Amino acid sequence: MSDPAQNIVRCASCDGFGWNEDEFRGEAEDCDWCAGVGYVYRDAAGRDFAIPKADFNAVADELESLELARLREMGYQGSAKKPWQQAIRKDTSLGEDPYERNEG
Ligand SMILES: [Zn+2]
Protein backbone atom coordinates (compact mmCIF):
# COMPACT_ATOMS: atom_id res chain seq x y z
CA MET A 1 0.00 0.00 0.00
CA SER A 2 1.15 3.53 -0.66
CA ASP A 3 1.36 5.98 2.18
CA PRO A 4 -2.06 7.62 2.58
CA ALA A 5 -0.35 10.91 3.51
CA GLN A 6 1.11 11.01 0.03
CA ASN A 7 -1.09 11.59 -2.95
CA ILE A 8 0.12 10.71 -6.39
CA VAL A 9 -0.19 13.62 -8.77
CA ARG A 10 0.76 14.25 -12.33
CA CYS A 11 4.29 15.58 -12.67
CA ALA A 12 4.14 19.34 -13.11
CA SER A 13 7.32 19.38 -15.13
CA CYS A 14 6.39 16.94 -17.89
CA ASP A 15 2.59 16.86 -17.43
CA GLY A 16 2.52 13.11 -17.04
CA PHE A 17 4.53 12.30 -20.12
CA GLY A 18 7.62 11.19 -18.22
CA TRP A 19 9.89 13.00 -20.63
CA ASN A 20 10.63 16.45 -21.89
CA GLU A 21 11.47 17.39 -25.40
CA ASP A 22 14.58 19.40 -25.95
CA GLU A 23 13.39 22.34 -28.01
CA PHE A 24 16.75 22.91 -29.59
CA ARG A 25 17.77 19.39 -30.46
CA GLY A 26 14.28 17.92 -30.84
CA GLU A 27 15.21 15.01 -28.62
CA ALA A 28 13.15 13.59 -25.80
CA GLU A 29 14.81 13.02 -22.46
CA ASP A 30 13.51 11.44 -19.29
CA CYS A 31 12.02 14.03 -17.01
CA ASP A 32 14.40 14.79 -14.13
CA TRP A 33 11.61 15.72 -11.77
CA CYS A 34 9.73 12.42 -11.81
CA ALA A 35 12.56 10.19 -13.09
CA GLY A 36 10.55 9.40 -16.21
CA VAL A 37 7.52 8.08 -14.33
CA GLY A 38 5.22 10.96 -15.21
CA TYR A 39 3.80 11.07 -11.70
CA VAL A 40 5.15 12.21 -8.35
CA TYR A 41 4.19 12.00 -4.72
CA ARG A 42 2.65 15.06 -3.13
CA ASP A 43 2.92 15.08 0.63
CA ALA A 44 0.56 16.72 3.12
CA ALA A 45 2.55 19.96 2.89
CA GLY A 46 2.06 20.12 -0.87
CA ARG A 47 5.63 19.21 -1.75
CA ASP A 48 6.17 17.07 -4.81
CA PHE A 49 8.90 14.47 -5.02
CA ALA A 50 9.78 11.58 -7.26
CA ILE A 51 8.26 8.19 -6.51
CA PRO A 52 11.11 5.91 -5.40
CA LYS A 53 11.65 2.93 -7.66
CA ALA A 54 11.13 0.72 -4.61
CA ASP A 55 7.53 1.96 -4.42
CA PHE A 56 6.59 1.16 -8.00
CA ASN A 57 5.00 -2.15 -7.12
CA ALA A 58 2.92 -0.59 -4.38
CA VAL A 59 1.61 2.22 -6.58
CA ALA A 60 1.35 0.32 -9.86
CA ASP A 61 -2.44 0.13 -9.90
CA GLU A 62 -2.83 3.78 -9.02
CA LEU A 63 -0.34 4.85 -11.65
CA GLU A 64 -2.11 2.80 -14.26
CA SER A 65 -5.52 4.30 -13.52
CA LEU A 66 -4.01 7.80 -13.50
CA GLU A 67 -2.38 7.10 -16.82
CA LEU A 68 -5.60 5.81 -18.34
CA ALA A 69 -7.42 8.92 -17.15
CA ARG A 70 -4.72 11.12 -18.63
CA LEU A 71 -4.82 9.37 -21.99
CA ARG A 72 -8.61 9.67 -22.14
CA GLU A 73 -8.27 13.34 -21.27
CA MET A 74 -6.02 13.80 -24.28
CA GLY A 75 -8.44 11.93 -26.50
CA TYR A 76 -5.83 9.24 -26.82
CA GLN A 77 -6.26 7.06 -29.88
CA GLY A 78 -2.75 6.30 -30.98
CA SER A 79 0.01 4.08 -29.82
CA ALA A 80 2.01 5.56 -26.99
CA LYS A 81 4.36 3.45 -24.97
CA LYS A 82 2.53 1.41 -22.39
CA PRO A 83 3.86 1.61 -18.85
CA TRP A 84 5.24 -1.90 -19.04
CA GLN A 85 7.12 -1.02 -22.21
CA GLN A 86 9.09 1.76 -20.58
CA ALA A 87 12.61 0.92 -19.54
CA ILE A 88 12.25 2.79 -16.26
CA ARG A 89 9.67 0.24 -15.15
CA LYS A 90 11.64 -2.85 -16.03
CA ASP A 91 12.06 -5.24 -13.12
CA THR A 92 8.92 -3.95 -11.43
CA SER A 93 5.39 -5.22 -11.86
CA LEU A 94 4.93 -2.30 -14.25
CA GLY A 95 7.63 -3.84 -16.38
CA GLU A 96 5.33 -6.73 -17.19
CA ASP A 97 2.53 -6.72 -19.66
CA PRO A 98 -0.54 -6.99 -17.40
CA TYR A 99 -2.56 -8.65 -20.13
CA GLU A 100 0.06 -11.31 -20.50
CA ARG A 101 0.38 -11.62 -16.75
CA ASN A 102 -3.33 -12.09 -16.23
CA GLU A 103 -3.68 -14.83 -18.77
CA GLY A 104 -4.02 -18.37 -17.53
ZN1 LIG B 1 8.07 14.57 -14.99
* 43-86 tens-digit pLDDT: 999 999 999 999 999 999 999 999 989 988 888 765 556 666 66
Whole-number Cα distances in Å, 66 to 8, 18, 27, 45, 71: 9, 13, 26, 21, 9
Q: Is the pLDDT of residue 15 over 60?
A: yes
Average pLDDT, the chain: 81
CA 42–ligand 1 middle distance (angstroms) = 13
**pTM, 2 dp:** 0.64
Model confidence at 34, pLDDT cuts 50, 70, 90, reads very high
Gap from CA of 84 to ligand 1 centroid (Å)? 17
Largest pairwise CA distance in the chain: 48
Cα of 22 vs centre of ligand 1, distance in Å, is 14
